[in-house]
Structure 1
Amino acid sequence: MWILSLYGTAIGAGVLFLPINAGMGGLIPLLVMLVLAFPLTYFTHRALCRFVLEGSEKSDDITVVGEKYFGKFGGGVLTLLYFFAIFPILLVYSVGITNNISSFMIHQLGMAEPDRLLLSFCVVAVLMAVVSFGEEIIVKTMSAIVFPFIAVLVISALWLIPKWNGALFENISFSGVDGQSLWVVMLLILPTMVFAFNHSPIISSLAVHCKEQYGKDADKKASSIIAGSNILMLITVMFFVFSCAMCLSPEEFQKAKAENLPILSYLANHFSDMTIFAFLAPIVAFVAMSKSFFGHYLGAKEGLNRILFRITSDKISLGMANKITGIITFIVAWLVAYKDPNVLGIIESIGGPILAIILYLMPLYAIYKFPQLHKYKNFAQNIFIFIFGLITISTAIYKMFFLGL
């Protein structure tokens, strides 16, 4: 159940936007990503899980453990980073789902364009109604729909095979569609890749579960769960990404990015002759983004609840904190979904870099700083994670100063 829940948290909007950024760069970035995806995903999430596992109390989540390690101020900074690494992702899902449903109504159902204010309200209201049932229901719901989603993701990739062409293997270049160098292309892909395979919001819940269920074997069990989910992710996602890349040109991927649609919705509109695929693809995209919204809400709720406890000096009850968190999430997600900012821009500029701080740099610092974590030192793995963490964070700086975004 936990392997499927980790997979369900990760495989959503990120995967549906990953082929767009990756496809714009051509074959070379895709091959580099194929090599890097598993080690970057596994080592970083395992390190974050170990950080939480070493908390003194079995029930301690990442926000509580962070405060015990770094003190009140440092723990507060970590909680803020954790929240702002996850909360923008919820906003990405609210935008993506709203755009997906709007596109489906216009292109597949032949309806007039819906009122965006009302549509975004209904979308976010339904999502928040589901998460209001609690963590157990969320995990069970995600687990139940993951197997069908894996099947549909693979079937979608197979369905695209008749549309494959050899353009990806022609004129193999070390530059992207705009003449950018390979390094710049990879720089822009990395945050999307980190986001696409990211399941950090549920790692804290996994660590708490393993501490309570497996005691001294918690690390071994958690590591095997993370590895199993990551292998499943790599096989299904990279097959899907390559299948998409084989049937569109870099220029068409650039158009998909401009339209702010997940790849399945763009393909449904692009290949209108594939009637069944055109109808089913947006539905798959909706399911994928919805289940990831549920998983990421667990992490966002952890972070915002901890902020509320800190502001009120722990005088607020957990039930009241949950209600306030739900109301704030609903209002902000609704407004952002209505405004429709560029999804890939949010991922590249905010989500990816902040996730890299939480996933790549913070656990490494803790491993070398605190004696109870010294047993996890591994120089080769750690330097590998450190370098790619810095590269991912540098993307935001590059976009800000060189691309003017």
Structure 2
Amino acid sequence: MKTSSLVLGDGIRSSARIPFTGYDFGWVVLCVGMAIGSGIVFMPVQIGLKGLYAFLTAVLLSYPAVYHLQNLFLRTLIQSEQCEDYAGAISHYLGKNWGVALGSIYFVMLLGGILTYASSITYDSASYFQTFGLTEQSLAKQGWYGLLVIALLVLISAQGERLLFKVAGPMIMVKFGIIVLLAVVMVPYWDFSNVMPLGDFATFLRDVFLTLPFALFSILYVQILNPMNIAYRKLESDRYVAAYRSVRVNRIAYIILVVAVLFFAFSFAFSVSKADAEQALAQNISALAIAAKVMPGAWVKIMSVMLNVFAIMSAFFGIYLGFHEALKGIVMNLLSRRAEQCAINQRKLGLVLTLAIVVFLWLWVLGNFSTMLILQLVGPIFGITTCLVPCYLVWKVEALRNLRGKAVYYVALYGVLLMASPFFKFFE
């Protein structure tokens, strides 16, 4: 049991003894699972391509920004009277037009993530089947395989957070353990010649900007914060208790991720050569899929496979909650302009949106678009939605004045850097 002061609005509103429950632990696990997704399994590829020094600089810029932007994003949602969806929360502050506009940007942000996970799990799993001799050719070339994978993932995700605690929770615990263990067992394979020397300053600066999105996504779980806020608001009659529990989960998950991911990143950086990274980029697969082919030892390959598949699957489960909520929020915002919200059949609408998501993701997978390129291009969207929008709300809305401070300026600056990062692709 722990005595905690709950701070919202103008000052201290409530004080309570709030235990850390299994439900809180479930959300910590989902947050960690959301972060340990394509960001961490593709990050070693970027480190191999751009060098360890560029990655370290990107981390020094990104990790403090991640804490502040997620904290700011969560607190702006917490203090909104509306807690059904992101578009509704923005509408509460700025009106329906702003709600649908910024809700659409939020939707595009989540769209980039869910497209990445859908593509990665389909192509990487097919690659593993082929690598281990279970199939002669990649199943990803078969249209039915992508549809089967996507439909199964969506079916599980659509059941809600409590089922995800049971399904994704064990996956996340396993992959977190694998990250730590794999980082340890890869130590004998360290080769410091894999660390590329520092080049000229212009190239180094370019590579830092291009690596910013990968450093960001390696510990980012902002996509699940609004579903978590909604869940706690529905669970707790006292909104200040709900707020405290959300903020506490956010802090615990962040600390866990920083320690584990940095250890993993350094170990992989010393083990993956630039040639390995270029091969992964050319084949549109993660560094772990490459590691399963080139590293000796069947058990290391098994751990790599489990980490890659579990990482992307559990991250998909987490982002689906936010993606479906964002899509529904936009549709509800538009439909409510023509009909009363109570007259809209929520169950039928949810079913239609779920089916539409399955078909759309399947068509995307069939196109076989570059996952690495998506991670770089969605940087500006994250910069706008998770950095600039919360900062604008804090500066614009008087009810959020308690959140104003130096951190807001740093988050805004980082948002600008994220928006600029893809343009450095033209200088490669």
Equivalent of 2:313, from 290, 293, 298?
290
The aligned residue for residue 133 of structure 2 is 109
Equivalents in 1 of 2:69, 2:199: separation in Å?
28
For residues 6-405 of structure 1, the aligned pairs below 5 Å read: 6-57=31-82, 59-113=83-137, 114=139, 115-169=141-195, 172-174=197-199, 181-211=203-233, 212-213=235-236, 215-271=239-295, 273-313=296-336, 314=341, 315-349=343-377, 351-379=378-406, 381-399=407-425, 402=427
Equivalents in 2 of 1:36, 1:155: separation in Å?
27
Equivalents in 1 of 2:103, 2:214: separation in Å?
23
RMSD of aligned C-alpha atoms?
2.0
Equivalents in 2 of 1:157, 1:339: separation in Å?
34
Cα distance per residue 1:15-37 (max 9 Å; x no partner): 10111112322221232244334
The one-letter code sitting in structure 2 at the alignment partner of 1:290 is M
In structure 1, runs of 5+ residues without a counterpart are none
Equivalents in 2 of 1:228, 1:392: separation in Å?
25
SS of residue matched to 1:181: helix
The one-letter code sitting in structure 2 at the alignment partner of 1:30 is F
- The verdict on how the C-alpha distance between 1:220 and 1:129 changes in structure 2, with shifts beyond 3 A counting, is closer
SS of residue matched to 2:108: helix
Equivalents in 1 of 2:130, 2:170: separation in Å?
30
Contact 1:108 1:279 in 2 (8 A): no
Q: Which moved more, 1:36-45 or 1:96-105?
A: 36-45
> Where in structure 1 do 4 or more consecutive aligned residues deviate above 6 Å?
none
Equivalents in 2 of 1:47, 1:200: separation in Å?
10
Contact 1:195 1:352 in 2 (8 A): no
Equivalents in 2 of 1:27, 1:286: separation in Å?
25
Contact 1:38 1:231 in 2 (8 A): no
The one-letter code sitting in structure 1 at the alignment partner of 2:297 is M
Contact 2:63 2:216 in 1 (8 A): no
The one-letter code sitting in structure 2 at the alignment partner of 1:13 is S
Equivalents in 2 of 1:251, 1:36: separation in Å?
27
The one-letter code sitting in structure 2 at the alignment partner of 1:207 is N
Contact 1:192 1:352 in 2 (8 A): no
The one-letter code sitting in structure 2 at the alignment partner of 1:100 is D
SS of residue matched to 1:261: coil
TM-score (normalised: structure 1): 0.91
The one-letter code sitting in structure 2 at the alignment partner of 1:345 is L
Q: Which moved more, 1:67-76 or 1:305-314?
A: 305-314
By how many angstroms is 1:96 displaced?
0.4
By how many angstroms is 1:330 displaced?
0.5
Contact 1:27 1:168 in 2 (8 A): no
Cα distance per residue 1:176-212 (max 9 Å; x no partner): xxx9611110111112222332212210122234445
TM-score (normalised: structure 2): 0.87
- The verdict on how the C-alpha distance between 1:162 and 1:18 changes in structure 2, with shifts beyond 3 A counting, is same
Q: Which moved more, 1:203-212 or 1:20-29?
A: 203-212
Cα distance per residue 1:58-102 (max 9 Å; x no partner): x44322111111211110011101111002211111110111111
Equivalents in 1 of 2:172, 2:131: separation in Å?
27
By how many angstroms is 1:217 displaced?
4.5
Equivalents in 2 of 1:281, 1:23: separation in Å?
17
The one-letter code sitting in structure 2 at the alignment partner of 1:7 is V
Equivalenced residue count is: 394
- The verdict on how the C-alpha distance between 1:118 and 1:210 changes in structure 2, with shifts beyond 3 A counting, is closer
SS of residue matched to 1:41: helix
By how many angstroms is 1:382 displaced?
1.8
The aligned residue for residue 23 of structure 2 is none
By how many angstroms is 1:270 displaced?
1.9
